[in-house]
Each structure stands twice: as C-alpha cells, then as structure tokens.
Structure 1
C-alpha cells in the first residue's frame, strides 16, 4: 500500500540528527527522500555509536530508513547543475548546516526558489538564520542548556543535567517535519508558494516546555529543578522505589485523580484532609504528600503497589529498561517495534498510527551512494556521462565502484 505522502519528493542535505530525523519521519508515510552525501565524506551517523552484526551503525539504520542515497559534490559547478535538476522536481529541501553555507555554495533560498518557486526549504541551525548568535557553533546540548531544559533537570543541590537522549535534536526534527507540512498546506491552499522554514535547535524545546515563561511573567514563579519531583509540584507525584527495588513513576493530573492517589497511599484520613481539598491547597503542602507516597511505596513490593493503585484507579507506572520495552505487552500489541526482512536490527515503527493510511518501514539505512546510478539515470544521464562524473570525483557509486 502506498503511503499518504508517496508523491512528496524531498532532497536531504542534512547531516547528524535534526534535519535527517525530519526527513525520516515523513519517509515513514511514503515521502520519497533522496539523501545527498559528499563523495568523500558521508554522514557521521553512519559510524557514530554501536554497530550491528553487519558492521553498520545502528543509529544510521534508523535515521537513514526509507531513504535513497546519492553521492554528489553539490558544491561544484557540475554538481550544482545536478542538484538543480533534483530541486526542479522536488517539493522540499532540508538542510542543517551553519547559516551561510548554502549561500556561499551559490544555492541559497533565493537561488533555490528561482529554480523551483514552489519549493519548501527547511533550514535547521543552532541559533537560527538571523540574530546576534546566528554564526556561533552549537550542538544539541548547547540548545538543551539555552532552552532551560538542563536547568530544570536534576536535584536542587546538584548540577543541571542533560536528559538521556538527544532531546534538542530530536524535538527539532519533529518540529521541522511539522513546519514542512504546514508550509505544504499553505502552498496547497494558495496562501503561499515555496517558503523557508527557519528553526533554531533550542526553539523546539523552548516551545514544548512552554510553561516556565508564562509561570514567571504571569505568576512571578520561577521553576527550579526538583530531583524526583516536578519542578513546580503543581500536582502530586514523583519517582519512587519499591521495597523490591523497582522504580515507579507516580502521577496525578487533576484534583479528582489526586484524591484517588492519596486514598491509595494513606486511606480516607489522608484523602479527606482539608489541606488537600484542591490542587491549589495541595501544592502548598506537597512535601507532606510526597513523603506519604514515598512511605507507602518503599514499604511495599511493586506488585503490591500496583494492586492497591489499580483498586483506586490511580497511576503508578514502572520505569522500563530497554529490555523491558522490548517485551512490554502494550508496546508489542501496538506494533511499535518493527523490522524488515533480512535485518536483525529492529527500530521504532511509524508514529502516529493512522487508521486508513498507516506508515510503513520499507528499508533501513542504505549504504553510501547506494542509489546514485538509478537517481542519475532518472535525471537523464547515460552511463558514459555517469562514469565521467565518477572519474572527476563529483559523483560516487555504491562501494566506490566504476560502471
């Protein structure tokens, strides 16, 4: 079955995570993605991190999923002509270089839109395409620091901490895919033709975290990191360890669910205490609530806690390891971990789940330049011309082979 985006053509000049993830998310739903790498310098994600049994980096296998790969020196005169042919027939171009790289290569947005006025260009950079910090180098961790995420992660008397995954790069990829679809919708509605989607890596986290700024400006409250508890403790919960060593995340998101949680851990006496009549009242006595939950959880096994919480319709979720994720019944039922024929490596499947046009994993990350020959042939190049481009070092074929 073809995907809902199977007519969408994307040229990816991105590297590492943020830009490539945006393309990968759309490729799950059928987008035709051509990833371009320099003939003598491939994406570092091919080699970063652990390798599968076939010697290929597992991170590349998932970031390169469903993509065709082309080895092309697009900064050369002849390479730029090939890029132009690709752009003229494309819907989207994705890049995540430092600001000015495209312009210095003679393929800035003005040139790209001259080639194809309907092209949507996603530009991902550390600090955005303008402003006093535009030219500074940045990586995901710098963005996590700038967004305030690191400031809110960790214990009050300890250092700020980064999360256990590349949060800034990953959320930027997600926001980049959203930006592309919004721009394409605007194009379809006749509101705008091709336009530039400009996103700084810190901005996705800034938007998704959201509440610290209105908390400060609207309520004069400045969130602080709070260890196993929420930075502002507006609802009861936190991270607790059972008597048999299982970590549980306990949470309640409303006055009603908070009452059920209190009744589970402390009975009617705790739940009916006037100090906890509303979330507002409760927030002023959150240390008492936290201690009550902690006392209950630490004195019972995980199964005992889960049984009591189930009776009260309260929430206590086990903190799963990767091994436990692989065997979790709900994750397996949802089909969230998938594979392709001939591959041992499994990856997370397409999200979200669409009822009529679900996403599909077609293949994992392919070798460098795996599709160079077929892509160039589709552009009208014969084998003699392709061989000449290879000889000149402007194009690479899979494995560096000659025609």
Structure 2
C-alpha cells in the first residue's frame, strides 16, 4: 500500500465499461486506491478495441485502465456472482455504469449490497439516473450532451449543432462521480461508517455545467443560441485568423485587460473610450470590436500576434494540436507527458496526472492490463486455491 497517496487503503470495484465508470475508477487508481476492474471473460471492456489499435489493443485502453487490476468474472454464473459479492463485502467503493436495473436482475440491488457491506459507497453512473420516466432508457454521453443543453449551444448560428471532439459528457459525469464518492466517504467517517448511493445521470452532469442558462430563461425568457466562436455577454473573447492562416484565441474581456489590448494594437482611442470601460458596453459594440481585432490579427503572423499579446499581458493562445503539446515548454515543465511501455516493450507517452497535489501526488504505476491478468492473484487473496481457480475457469465462471 502506497501511503504517500491520498486514497491509499481504499478498495474500489469497477463494474463499468467504456468511458464514464472506467474514467472515474482511473482517477481513484491514480491517487492510490486499489482498483479491481471486473470484466467479462468474453472480450472484456469494449474500450479495449476502440479508436487507434496497437497490436490489436486500443492505445486509449492503456491509459484508461492504468493502475487497475483486471479480474474476469462471468456475471451470468452463480459462482461469478458469489466471487463478486466477496469482493464487494470488503470494498469501500463500487462504481458501475450499467443501465438501471441491470444489477438488480443479478441480485445485486442496493438493499442486498448495503446489508452485505453497510460501509459501501456505490457510485451509479447512467444516462438518466436511477429514477424518473427515462431511467430504463439507454443513454450514452452524446445523448447526455444533447439533453443537458451543451450541443444546442455548440456551433454556428446558421448551422446545425455540433459535438465537441471528445466524449465530454461521459468524462464530466465521471468527475461528478468521483466528487460524490469522496463526499460520501467523508459522510461515512462521521456517521458510524454508513455508506450510501451516489447517483449521477449523464444529462444532469452536463446540465450542471450550463452556467446561467436556467435563470436567464426563467427570469427573462432568454434562450441561449449557438454563436460560433464568440461568447455573447463576454467581449471580446474569440478566435481570430492570422496572416499565415493560423488561429489564435484571444480573451480580452477583463476591463483592464481590454485597455492594455487596445493600446498594444495602437487603438488608444478605444482603450480610453468610457463607453467601452466595462463588459456591458463592449458587448453592445461587439461586432465593431471583433471586426477590428480580425483585421489586426489578419495583418500579422501568429508568432507576432502572440508576442504582442504576451507583452501586453493579454490571455491568448494558439489552438493546440497533439503535435503542439508534445513540444510545448509549459506542458513539459508540468510533466503532462509520462513515459510508459507497451506490452512489446515499445515506449510511449501517456497524459500526466491531474490535479497536482503538493504532498501526495498521483502517479501512473502501470498501463492497462491484459484481460484477466490479475484474476488468479485476486482470487487467491479471497481464499481460493489453485485447484478451485482451475475448476472455476473450466466451468466458465471466470
């Protein structure tokens, strides 16, 4: 047990597949929890075959399952369920992202699990939550992003909604799941070791990030629409194209920042204009401001634009690709790329750990394991003999 990590001593059972549940468990694993990932003997987590494959295994898998142990269990088999119950009886957290009702059909309802282990914290990630008229419906992150309001406001006003480039809804739900688990563990500390359920719906996880959308509609009847790269009510903040065709994100929406920006590009008249002294005034003239910033950026190459903005202390950035990140001094200084090794010995880089803890930092100890790699060792800790393990395997229970 690594006592230098904040979650050391906690045992987490992961019954998730793909993104939300596994990402939540990955965060726990990075910060010291013992995470046992339960997979079907028949292929395991589908994420093993998603996106770009290396020697038949997803490169994403090696990151998403890092620091985890892989245990194969056939949950359609009574022996498989019995093993899972033994694991849960001594676990601190159970993370699952099945469709609601799945665990109940397996005899693993909350009342049963809570009786088995009163201290258990159960994190349930699903499309629509464990209650409500849609609870039985399947729901992926894309649906959560759509129902939660994110996709409606993403894109340009004259075009249909677009998605972000990653499964952001699943990842946001995972973060809420971890936050909820930590809250529940704190509650357990001060309430005689009593566990509880953390119920996270993907659409609600996204909805919770939608800033002022609800009061703006309720009080003013205002429905926020797609606005491309600008943020109405926050001006100026947008993406602009430079003379070399490269883009920069400029965020000069602070009052003092805006004044520095205008002076840096030779527009002292606008820096000193009292009508532009605050955000409300700037937003009423946003078309004028964006047009002049567009013209200024378009007359200089990206490097020069960024140097001017850096000297003026105006928040700005080029739009990074993976190639940009790999050589960026800030990424390197913050150790946002970790060296790791693939099963055949080939070295590769993984994303670094977030957040940075000063005294008890997280780490990546190993990459995503082979399917069932830790089955025998885990069963051994539960008291199964080598002969019993062989018999379970022969019967298809593991």
TM bin, normalised by shorter chain, reads over 0.9
Match of 1:345 in 2: 348
Distance (Å, rounded) in 2 between the aligned partners of 1:265 and 1:226 = 26
List gaps (5 residues or longer) in structure 2: none
Match of 2:295 in 1: 295
Match of 2:78 in 1: 77
- Structure 2 residue 164 is matched with structure 1 residue 133: no
Distance (Å, rounded) in 2 between the aligned partners of 1:191 and 1:238 = 52
1:254 to partner: Cα distance: 2.1
3-state secondary structure, aligned to 2:57: coil
1:345 to partner: Cα distance: 3.0
Q: Deviations over 1:10-46 (max 9, x none)?
A: 0000001000000001111111000001112411000
- Which of 2, 8, 12 lines up with 1:6 in the alignment? 8
1:259 to partner: Cα distance: 2.1
Give aligned pairs, total.
Answer: 393
Instruction: Rate the CA distance shift 1:366–1:234 in 2: closer, same or farther, 3 A.
Output: same
Contact in 1 for aligned 2:65/2:367 (Cα 8 Å):
yes
1:189 to partner: Cα distance: 2.1
1:108 to partner: Cα distance: 1.0
- Which of 30, 39, 42 lines up with 1:28 in the alignment? 30
1:369-388 mapped onto 2 (5 Å cutoff) = 369-388=372-391
3-state secondary structure, aligned to 1:7: coil
3-state secondary structure, aligned to 2:199: strand
Distance (Å, rounded) in 2 between the aligned partners of 1:165 and 1:393 = 36
Match of 1:401 in 2: none
Distance (Å, rounded) in 1 between the aligned partners of 2:394 and 2:301 = 68
Contact in 1 for aligned 2:240/2:247 (Cα 8 Å):
yes
1:219 to partner: Cα distance: 4.4
Distance (Å, rounded) in 1 between the aligned partners of 2:144 and 2:11 = 30
Match of 2:272 in 1: 272
Contact in 2 for aligned 1:10/1:90 (Cα 8 Å):
yes
1:168 to partner: Cα distance: 0.3
Match of 2:146 in 1: 145
Q: Deviations over 1:360-390 (max 9, x none)?
A: 1001100100000000000000011111101
How does the TM-score come out when normalised to structure 2? 0.95
Contact in 2 for aligned 1:261/1:315 (Cα 8 Å):
no
List gaps (5 residues or longer) in structure 1: 396-403
1:71-110 mapped onto 2 (5 Å cutoff) = 71-110=72-111
